[in-house]
Amino acid sequence: MSVDKSTRITFFGGTRTIGGTICRVKTSSSQIVFDMGHVVRPESPMFSGSLRPRSTADLRAVGILPDIPELYQIEKPESMAICISHNHLDHTALLPYMANEISVFSTKETCKILKLISEAGIEDQPPLQLTGVDAETWHSVGDLRFQFVPVDHDTPGAAAIFIAAPDLRLVYSGDLRFHGWRPELSRAFVEKARTFEPDVLLVEGTRAGDEARPQVTEQELVRHMVEAMAGEERMVYFNAYPRHPERVLAFARCAQEAGRTPVFEARTLYVASHFAGGVPESVHVWADDSLTDPVREWLASLKLPLVRPEDLRDAPSGFAAELAYDKLWRLIDLGSAANGLYIHSNGAPLGPFDPAWDNLQRWLAHFGVTFRALGTSGHASLSEIEQAVEEIRPRVYLPIHSFHPECVVAEGIPRVLPEERVEYTLSDLLAAASVATRA
């Protein structure tokens, strides 16, 4: 009896969630897994607080970690690799649980920002051992080849992943958009994917179902923030997402244009400055005794002005200050000057699904701080995703990373809505797409 040596594609997360994408492409001798993020599932048991997992086996038992034994105890590390499309936690959070022998690859920029975040002590993330590779350069794991192709997303180093197996070609879009600072990267990705002639396209569908929401470019967002700050006589606060250094630096420019002095957490500015080649002029830093050694040494070398709450009390209208969730007690220290405008711009807590979201609202209301959301998505609109699929023209496409993947409809292209923990060959996918089309 002959053995079926077809390449198999299996999803362990991300088919009907935003984030938590984990997919394995496996041949008879090699496998590549991407990404390795965690997503909260309200219907599933979780470990938190004093309820701690005893081992990775506990995390696998409740579905937090994928049930791929080779990820935790590996006998042939040369036969497996993990590829990471970008640095967001919903694509990287599970990496610390992987066996140390496994090679983890990503773009050089992604590796750089993950290293900086670790050095800064942000999000309590342990150091990760990643290999940064040049974009659009092929690398091999056994009989599988892969490369990273840059896309525009709301963080540096984001990339799609191209995989060439003996019997199929696959493209994973990662997360991308066409309204950011570098839309040309995403447009170039579409053209490169079309030229690659993929059999299978895995495409994100994050914004499927929210087409009614207006799309704001990063350039327009800067203008909106300047207007909001300039029209406010009270203190202005903003939350900054350290994994998006371009937005952090934009806050500094907006504050200065509005006639305010920007004030940052040292850890946030530490990460952003390494992508800007320096620190913006007139930036101040919150005085803080809990800095990591790398940040403390960096801060001492620059001699940036330090501010304390009492420095802001007499002239609150002259400042725009970062107010991180874990530093909300700064409002207490500001006393009567605490009331003002809080600009939430895609930072933490990330949205109403986050348990910290309601608590943030309670803190702001208690101190008379007005909440205002001013941000823009890191993801392409539904119509842009559908157009990209139609231009790439894969033999079959699978919308993932979405609450509503069924809403992603590309005219004339066969589609499959994948199920988790089901092995698919190319023949399986083409057959399933044919049945779905007839239905």
Measured CA to CA, the distance from residue 19 to residue 399 in angstroms comes to: 13
Per residue in 143-183, pLDDT tens? 999 999 999 999 999 999 999 999 999 999 999 999 999 99
Asked if 367 and 407 sit in the same domain, the reply is: no
Asked if 32 and 158 sit in the same domain, the reply is: yes
Domain count, the chain: 2
Q: Is the pLDDT of residue 250 over 80?
A: yes
Asked if 358 and 394 sit in the same domain, the reply is: no
Q: What is the pLDDT of residue 1?
A: 47
Mean pLDDT over 18-36 rounds to 95
Q: Is residue 1 part of a domain?
A: no
Q: What is the CATH number of the domain that holds 131?
A: 3.60.15.10
Asked if 134 and 272 sit in the same domain, the reply is: no
Mean per-residue pLDDT over the chain, rounded? 91
Asked if 280 and 341 sit in the same domain, the reply is: yes
Q: Is the pLDDT of residue 303 over 60?
A: yes
Per residue in 305-328, pLDDT tens? 999 999 998 888 999 999 999 999
pLDDT band at 213 (very low <50, low <70, confident <90, very high): low
Asked if 335 and 385 sit in the same domain, the reply is: no
Cα 408 → chain centroid: 21
CB-hemisphere CA count at 13 Å for 321?
31
Share of the chain above pLDDT 90, in %: 73
Segments forming the whole domain that contains residue 106? 8-210+379-438
Q: What is the pLDDT of residue 314?
A: 86
Q: What is the pLDDT of residue 34?
A: 96
How far is the CA of 201 from the CAs of 178, 240, 317, 361, in angstroms?
A: 18, 33, 51, 40
Asked if 369 and 384 sit in the same domain, the reply is: no
Mean pLDDT over 92-98 rounds to 90
Asked if 315 and 391 sit in the same domain, the reply is: no
245-257 and 266-276 are packed helices; what angle lies between their axes, rounded to 10 degrees? 100
Measured CA to CA, the distance from residue 97 to residue 36 in angstroms comes to: 10
Mean pLDDT over 56-73 rounds to 86
pTM passes above 0.95: no
- Of 128-132, 383-387, 433-437, the one with minimum mean pLDDT is 433-437
Per residue in 214-239, pLDDT tens? 788 999 999 999 999 998 999 999 99
3-state secondary structure 239-251: ECCCCCHHHHHHH
Asked if 253 and 272 sit in the same domain, the reply is: yes
Asked if 65 and 201 sit in the same domain, the reply is: yes
Asked if 228 and 193 sit in the same domain, the reply is: no
* Amino acid letter, residue 321: A
Residue 369: CB atoms within 10 Å: 23
Asked if 66 and 112 sit in the same domain, the reply is: yes
- Of 66-80, 327-341, 413-427, the one with minimum mean pLDDT is 66-80
Mean pLDDT over 343-356 rounds to 84
pLDDT band at 211 (very low <50, low <70, confident <90, very high): low
Q: Is residue 307 part of a domain?
A: yes
Choose the final residue of a domain: 324, 346, 373: 373
